[in-house]
Structure 1
Amino acid sequence: MKLKFNLISLIILITFSNCQNDNHNSDLPHDSSFYIDYRSLKGLSDGIAVIELDPEAPNFGHISSKLELGIGVLPHHLYYNQNANKLFTTALGGSYLYQIKTEKDKNGQPKLVNATPIDTGENTVGENLFFTNDGRYFMTFMGGAGGPKDGSIGVFNADNNQLIKTIKAPVQTNPNQFIMYPHGISVNEEKGIMMVTSTIHPDLTTGMGNTCTLLDLNTYELKETYLVADSQTDMSSPVEVLLLRGKFPQYALATTMLGGDIWIAPYNATTKKYDAFSKIFDGSTQGLGWALEMYIDDNSKLYVSFADPGKVLVFDISNLPQLKLLKTLTADKGAHHMVFFKTKKGKEVVAVQNNLLDIPNLNSGTISVIEIQTGKTLGTVDLRTKYGILPESIEGTNGPSNYMHH
């Protein structure tokens, strides 16, 4: 029976797609255990941990496995590859990108084993990944080669993690089409396009962006750079972008970190680009700022985190460009990444990681577990107090714990 169960589990596992595609986690053993990237607040190594997040579990909030990556590595975003059989983390320091080896213990509980650094060439400050179906993956480097207005996109071979190409397009060369401080990335493979955001210089002071840039997925040529701000002088810092695809209305969505807003652009089948971006949700009218992550479930609901004051807003996107607000969930200051799962009693919940780069007033250091239907907080893990660490990102241990992210 155990062999049969493991075989079934393996078959289920390899059907997962990465967090960018239209799949989500299933009910597997220990599917309330999650990986978190974390930074140490005690001058010790940063790393990755396995934590139990079901408030109904007796070991809620317990860290069962840790993997240290090094002091100052600052692991930043966790991702699965296309088949969910490889786990990666990007990092703001250290080697900027790592492949993580994991195992299961005798109880089937996930265990972190080691991390293998991946050569990113001259590219620094690793941000987001996107895996495509043709054996490539793309990575945004907010620091590029280190210049004051730098930034790049790395193209990697998904089989051997070799860097194939570095895409650069300096604003100094062409102020109308450029890549600068790229953070968010999204791909529509069917249309052969990719978009990245222009967010902020890694030191958070040298410069800020207010655009998104569309590229050809195969030639890597820039197609257009879009203003995603109220004016040329409004440094809104678009942080994440999502190219809706498949069954969803064909729009691009972007969140602005310093603007605190959600923007939208319709796809134009004639030009094979997007038309201009317009603001679809003004966070300031709701007392919200620092719009960050976007997740979509298979019922056309959009979840957006607002780090200030720490909320997750749930929207209906079935009638875009109309965006209907359905409910507001209360997390903590710094509300950022999310994972979705069911508790042992079958409650549908979202766990929200509350910390953004340890920025004052945006760094609660907690994970809030919220029942989606009622909005009730079922439990909170205070990682700052309990472990002396801050969570940086969060991902499932049985594959992607969301339906569509980037």
Structure 2
Amino acid sequence: MKFKLLAQSVLFGAGLLMVGLTPAQSQTREESQGMVLLRGLPTLDTNHSIAIVELDPESDQFGELLSEVEQPDIQHPLHHLYYSPNGRLYSTGLDPSCSLAEIGLSRDSSGTPVIEGFTCLDTEGQIVGEDIMWATSNGQEYMFVTFMGGTGGDDGGSVGVFDTQTNEVVKIIEARKSQVGEGEPYIMYPHGISAFDDRMVVTSTIHPDMTTGVGNVLTIIDLNTLEPIQNILVENEKPLDFPSSPVEVLFARPDMHADIEPAILANTMFGFETWKIPYDAGSKTFGEAEVIYSGVANETAVPLEFYGTEDELFISHGLPGVVKRYELAALPELVSSGPDIVADPGAHHMIFFTSVSGRDLIAVQNNLLNLGNAADDDPTDVDFIADLNAHTITIHDLETGERIAEVNFKERYNKGVDNVEGLFGSGFVHHH
């Protein structure tokens, strides 16, 4: 569940089109290789791991793990991958003992990419890391990380501010609902994160135990003071009789496309909606929040991620498992730009690349948390969540949405797939 601020990842079209190469030659291509985080499944006796996988269906190595490092001593897996502006690779994590890590990605003596391992970082007690972004506060760049568990408690949640060179905690931004005054802004179970100018927004999603509490607001943080200044309610229909649980958020802004009018877009996981909150950069004020996409009306549920190419915005919906696409220049309005990409239940993260013959492709990772199900006697079963786990990455033609191939990680490797990211940061422009 997510940022690289200011569109720092490489556009999928930047890779070379290697038309006419032999299968052996095609193996040297890297743009079609993905970094994946794999979840060991208890009933299949497998360990969590980090791996590089070939995702070009035209390659004779399609679906193969080209490099893998396991995490046998961590109960809960690493969660989301992010490249810093200078190319360092980080991952948030679900386990309290490793809620943030730096991953060693390098090349061996032959130049082949390899995963060397990972180092768990000191978060000063912040747990259950989710999303990362890099942004500037008072002229200094920092790494900002959302922690859904914060430093613990029923209404926990924090945003960690880290030194980009040393990985040390500079500040913990925390404001518990139970401790702030009535009507004062709070931070609770933060997940999604995005920013524009000196305003940062985080979502209030769900307690890490998925039972204690669910959020329904966005929190605005002033990047000058690194303090929360406003909550914005994003809740309308309650199809599941839960609070809306805003999950991922995108601050749409002109540096993404010159025609964009600044506004926050937010997906509500349990409300099935996408919201728009206009922003006036001159007065630094937000307009009225409104629903611009209803999953109830469109028979979709659990909207998750925002991704973009140079001219399109893509939004994944976990049920029935579909990626919808919109004109980037029309944001913050959602104007359809092409056919839906029909993936599998749990449609979530994605990367964009070209095949060896030059065909533009999109790979969609299909799962929410890769939990098991009771039918398999899997102790990780959680009703509803288990239905959102196909354990696959599906490959589609970008223009038509046609499904070309898939890798089923449960069938092939006895694991689920939690996240996919382009190798060395290539593959897409990523926004949470």
Mapped contact 2:106–2:113 kept (Cα < 8 A) = yes
Q: Which amino acid aligns with 2:289?
A: F
1:89 counterpart (86, 91, 95)? 91
Separation in structure 1 between the aligned mates of residue 83 and residue 209 of structure 2, nearest angstrom? 28
Q: Compared with structure 1, are the counterparts of its residues 361 and 27 closer, same or farther at alpha carbon in structure 2 (3 Å cutoff)?
A: same
Mapped contact 1:249–1:318 kept (Cα < 8 A) = no
Q: Compared with structure 1, are the counterparts of its residues 160 and 262 closer, same or farther at alpha carbon in structure 2 (3 Å cutoff)?
A: same
Mapped contact 1:213–1:222 kept (Cα < 8 A) = yes
Mapped contact 2:391–2:417 kept (Cα < 8 A) = yes
Q: 1:208 is paired with a residue of what secondary structure?
A: coil
Tell me how far 1:135 sits from its aligned partner: 3.0
Q: 2:410 is paired with a residue of what secondary structure?
A: helix
Separation in structure 2 between the aligned mates of residue 174 and residue 258 of structure 1, nearest angstrom? 27
Separation in structure 1 between the aligned mates of residue 261 and residue 352 of structure 2, nearest angstrom? 23
Q: Which amino acid aligns with 2:39?
A: R
Q: Compared with structure 1, are the counterparts of its residues 400 and 276 closer, same or farther at alpha carbon in structure 2 (3 Å cutoff)?
A: farther
Separation in structure 1 between the aligned mates of residue 219 and residue 199 of structure 2, nearest angstrom? 10
Counterpart of 2:417 in structure 1 is 391
Counterpart of 1:314 in structure 2 is 325
Tell me how far 1:175 sits from its aligned partner: 4.9
Tell me how far 1:270 sits from its aligned partner: 4.4
Aligned length: 385
Counterpart of 2:306 in structure 1 is 294
Separation in structure 2 between the aligned mates of residue 174 and residue 92 of structure 1, nearest angstrom? 30
Separation in structure 1 between the aligned mates of residue 300 and residue 52 of structure 2, nearest angstrom? 31
Tell me how far 1:348 sits from its aligned partner: 1.0
Mapped contact 1:21–1:404 kept (Cα < 8 A) = no
Aligned counterparts, 1:355-394, within 5 A: 355-357=367-369, 358=371, 359-394=385-420
Tell me how far 1:19 sits from its aligned partner: 3.4
Counterpart of 2:207 in structure 1 is 201
Counterpart of 2:188 in structure 1 is 180
TM-score (norm 2): 0.85
Q: What are the superposed Cα offsets for residues 270-291 of structure 1, whole Å, 9 maximum, x if unpaired?
A: 4303222210000121210000
Separation in structure 2 between the aligned mates of residue 329 and residue 102 of structure 1, nearest angstrom? 31
Mapped contact 1:124–1:142 kept (Cα < 8 A) = yes
Mapped contact 2:265–2:332 kept (Cα < 8 A) = no
Q: 2:224 is paired with a residue of what secondary structure?
A: coil
Q: Which runs of 5+ in 1 are unaligned?
A: 1-17
Counterpart of 2:58 in structure 1 is 56
Q: Which runs of 5+ in 2 are unaligned?
A: 17-28, 372-384
Separation in structure 2 between the aligned mates of residue 19 and residue 350 of structure 1, nearest angstrom? 19
Q: Does 1:277 align with 2:262?
A: no
Separation in structure 2 between the aligned mates of residue 43 and residue 175 of structure 1, nearest angstrom? 49
Q: Does 1:229 align with 2:235?
A: yes
Q: 1:385 is paired with a residue of what secondary structure?
A: helix
The structure, 1 or 2, with the larger RCO (C-alpha pairs under 8 Å, 6+ apart) is: 2
Tell me how far 1:130 sits from its aligned partner: 0.5
Q: Does 1:113 align with 2:116?
A: yes
Q: What are the superposed Cα offsets for residues 23-65 of structure 1, whole Å, 9 maximum, x if unpaired?
A: 4243163111110011101343312111000011011000011
Mapped contact 1:339–1:352 kept (Cα < 8 A) = yes
Separation in structure 2 between the aligned mates of residue 213 and residue 160 of structure 1, nearest angstrom? 28
Counterpart of 1:329 in structure 2 is 341
Q: Does 1:125 align with 2:128?
A: yes
Identity percentage of aligned residues: 38
1:154 counterpart (138, 157, 160)? 160
Counterpart of 1:19 in structure 2 is 4
Q: Compared with structure 1, are the counterparts of its residues 229 and 317 closer, same or farther at alpha carbon in structure 2 (3 Å cutoff)?
A: farther
Separation in structure 1 between the aligned mates of residue 46 and residue 124 of structure 2, nearest angstrom? 27
Tell me how far 1:72 sits from its aligned partner: 1.5
Give the RMSD, CA atoms, in angstroms.
1.7
Mapped contact 1:135–1:159 kept (Cα < 8 A) = no
TM-score (norm 1): 0.91
